[in-house]
Amino acid sequence: MYFDPVPKTRREDLFGREDELRQFQRVLQYTPLIIITGLRRTGKTSFLNVALAESGAPHIRVDLRGLPVNPSRKQIIQKLQKAFNSVQGKWKSRIQRALEKVRGVKVLGAEISLAWEKDQLDLVDLFERIDAWTGKQNSRFIVAFDEFQHIRGDRNVIRILAYIMDNLQHIAVVVTGSEVGLLYDFLKLDSPGSVLYGRHHTEIRMRRFTSDEANEFLRKGFEQVGIQVSEDTLTYAVDKLDGIVGWLTEFGAHCRDCGRANQVVVDETMDLAGRQARDEITRLVAHSKRYGVILNYLANVGTASWSQLKRVLEAHEGRQLPSYVINEVLKRLTKMSIIGHTNNQYQIMDPLLRHGIFREPLPQ
């Protein structure tokens, strides 16, 4: 069902990603690193779930969402342990047998326990055992990290990835990220000093739907839930929700819950989702009120040039600011995919985030 807000796991519930699924299956045969990028709520997790299920290969998905800034080794290992224990079907017992002799790994009934102390668990040894076991299956093992940039404080993870890519031919690494600039900063694929410099990789981007695709998604979704919808409502929803599948799904789910589809429900969805999107970035503003100043201004005017934003910050602080200060604020917001720019015109990327901030400005 298209309007189910829970991340999808089956192809029939995933709309409009056929080309991307074919690309994933094709490059999986030879690419050591697949990077799945896209704004928040463009369906990266749903796509990853379906792609992994259709690969037919043994895999784990390490969900890194919810980790604090600069997570500890213990917190990362606990996420890895949860991923191994989430494996279903025939692969679970086989993976357990492959890992039972790795130092720092204990198999307790149907569960795997990983020690988190550095001198107790050797992650390289763990993945070497996985690689050797997968080679005997004539398959590839997929290690997928959802929202990989959340562990960017731990450079040891990058060294382990480099080792896997260079030495373990039967393991493919997949990472997703919505903060695209931060993700690539962490990977440092283009930095000569990085252990991942020059490594072959494939990027698969979750784009926004076109107006026609968004219209078709909503039309088919309403058919699935048996709700009549007018052309005017479809056009209004597509215009306001801007091709972001997560928000289109939210609208459809809201219509399903209340049993009607009209422009009032679109507006209600925008208010609810906008508040949710705004609340998600309030922690960012706590680090610097300058982020709030910039985002509040953009929420009001839509687009602004670099010089306009500089004047806004200076007016707020009552003093002249050097250019590098402005550049740093804008670069940070851009790397987190919160704002984007074309022809020196900056704007908030998510229309409902803009709506939420417009209705309730951020602290500044």
Given a cut of 80, whether residue 353 has pLDDT beyond it is: yes
pLDDT reported for residue 126:
94
Res 137 pLDDT > 90: no
* More confident of the two residues 348 and 39: 348
Q: What average pLDDT is seen over the chain?
A: 92
pLDDT tops 80 at residue 345: yes
The pair of structure tokens assigned to 154 is 């731990």
Contact (CB, 8 A) for 3 and 249: yes
Cβ atoms of residues 189 and 202 within 8 Å: no
Percent of the chain surpassing pLDDT 70: 100
Taking each helix axis from N to C end, the angle separating 323-335 and 180-187, rounded to the nearest 10 degrees, works out to 90
- Given a cut of 90, whether residue 287 has pLDDT beyond it is no
Q: Where are the beta strands (DSSP E) in the chain?
A: 33-37, 59-63, 105-108, 111-114, 141-146, 171-177, 202-205, 304-305, 339-342, 345-348
Q: Which of 101-110, 216-225, 229-238 has the lowest mean pLDDT?
A: 101-110
Task: Determine the pLDDT at residue 162.
Answer: 92
pLDDT the model gives residue 358:
96
Average pLDDT for 337-360: 94
For residue 313, is pLDDT > 90? yes
- What are the pLDDT digits (tens) for 266-275? 999 999 999 9
Question: What domains, with CATH codes, occur in the chain?
Answer: 17-205 (3.40.50.300), 211-279 (1.10.8.60), 287-359 (1.10.10.10)
Per-residue pLDDT band for 138 (boundaries 50, 70, 90) equals: confident
Res 62: pLDDT: 95
- Is residue 185 predicted with pLDDT exceeding 80? yes
Residue 116 is predicted with a pLDDT of 86
pLDDT digits (tens, 9 = 90+) for 33-55: 999 999 889 999 999 999 999 99
- Between CA 122 and CA 112 the distance in angstroms is 15
DSSP of 182-212, one letter per residue? HHHHHH-TT-TTSTTTT---EEEE-PPPPHH
* Residue-level pLDDT at 295: 97
pLDDT of residue 90: 85
307 pLDDT band (50/70/90 cuts)? very high
pLDDT number for residue 71: 87
User: Does residue 201 carry a pLDDT above 80?
Assistant: yes
Q: Which of 240, 196, 188 is nearest to 218 (CA)?
A: 240
pLDDT for residue 76: 92
Residue 306 reports pLDDT greater than 80: yes
For 60-113, the pLDDT digits (tens) are 999 998 888 788 889 999 999 999 999 988 899 999 999 988 999 999 888 999
- Please determine, for residue 153, whether its predicted confidence score (pLDDT) is greater than 80: no
Q: Is the pLDDT of residue 172 over 90?
A: yes
* Structure tokens given for 197: 């410099």
